Amino acid sequence: MKLKFLLIPLILTLLLIGCGSQPIEVTVTKVVDGDTIWVSHSGEDIKVRYIGMDAPEIFGGTECYGEEASSENLRLVGGRDVYLTFDFGRYDSFGRTLAYVWLSSNTKDITNMVNYILVKEGYATVMTISPNIKYAGSFTTAEAYAAVHDLGLWAACKEE
- Domain boundaries of the chain, sorted by first residue: 22-156
Q: 89-117: per-residue pLDDT in tens? A: 999 999 999 999 999 999 999 999 999 99
- Catalytic residue, chosen from 68, 72, 96, 143, is 96
Q: pTM of this prediction?
A: 0.87
pLDDT surpassing 80 at residue 67: yes
Residues of the chain with pLDDT > 90, as a percent, come to: 83
- The CATH code that applies to domain 22-156 is 2.40.50.90
Q: 2-52: per-residue pLDDT in tens? A: 554 444 444 434 444 444 579 999 999 999 999 999 999 999 999 999 999
pLDDT at 160: 61
- Catalytic residue, chosen from 49, 68, 72, 143, is 49
Active site residue 159: no
- Dihedral-angle region of residue 122 (phi above 0 means left; psi in -120 to 50 means alpha; beta otherwise): left
What is the residue-averaged pLDDT of the chain? 90
Active site residue 57: yes
Distances (CA, A) of 38 to 11, 14, 47, 79, 152: 30, 25, 4, 10, 24
